[in-house]
Amino acid sequence: MPVVTIGPAEVHVDAEGFLTQYGEWTEELAAQLAAQIGIELTDAHWKAISFLRADYPQRGETATLRRVSTLAGIPIKQLFVLFPGKPAKKMAYVAGLPKPRGCV
């Protein structure tokens, strides 16, 4: 598992750059991860990321778009605006969680 330096922090990531240790994530790190994929975090972004962070320990897996939409009350359409292209993957990346299973 490679270790990379992002800003001041050294963190463990997988081959695609997703953090592998839940506890290594910080809010400052999130801002830097977001910047790497061209996103500047606003309150609307934080609402989604906070939900993902809170949901993960309960479920043991990264929430799907539909779960974020239903439980955090953010329309899927808006998630596509906030995290353009591949919102599920981008949200997980910024929230320091595994890439969503997408499914099985």
Partner 1 sequence: MKRLVILGAGTAGMMVANKLRRRLPLREWQITVVDRDDVHLYQPGLLFVPFGVYRPAQLTRSRRRLLRSGIQFLTGEIERIDPVAKTVRLGDGTAVGYDYLVVATGTSPRPDQTPGMLGAEWRKSIFDFYSYEGSVALADALRDFTGGRLVVHIVDQPIKCPVAPLEFTFLAEAYFRSRGMRDQVEIVYATPLSGAFTKPIASARLGDMLDERKIAVEADFLVERIDSERKMLVSYDEREIEFDLLVTVPLNMGADFIARSGLGDELNYVPVDKHTFQSTAYPDIFVLGDAADLPISKAGSVAHFAAEIFTGNFCQYVEGHPMTGSFDGHANCFVESGDGKGLLIDFNYDTEPLPGSFPLPVVGPLGLLRENARNHWGKLAFRWIYWHVLLPGRRLPVPTHLSMTGKKQPDKEI
77 is a site residue for partner 1 (CB under 8 A):
yes
Q: Should residue 65 be labelled a site residue for partner 1 when binding is judged by CB under 8 A?
A: yes
With CB under 8 A as the contact rule, which of the stretches 4-12, 26-34, 38-46, 82-90 interacts with partner 1?
Answer: 82-90
21 near partner 1, judged by CB under 8 A: no
Concatenate the DSSP letters of all residues of 8-56 into one string: TEEEEB-TTS-B--GGG--HHHHHHHHHHTT----HHHHHHHHHHHHHH
- Told to check if 71 binds partner 1 by CB under 8 A, we report yes
E runs forming strands in the chain: 3-6, 9-12
**Spatial distance between the Cα atoms of 104 and 8, rounded to a whole number of angstroms:** 36
Tell me, yes or no, if 58 is annotated catalytic.
no
The binding site for partner 1 (CB under 8 A) comprises: 15, 59, 61, 64-67, 70-71, 76-77, 79-80, 84-86, 101-104
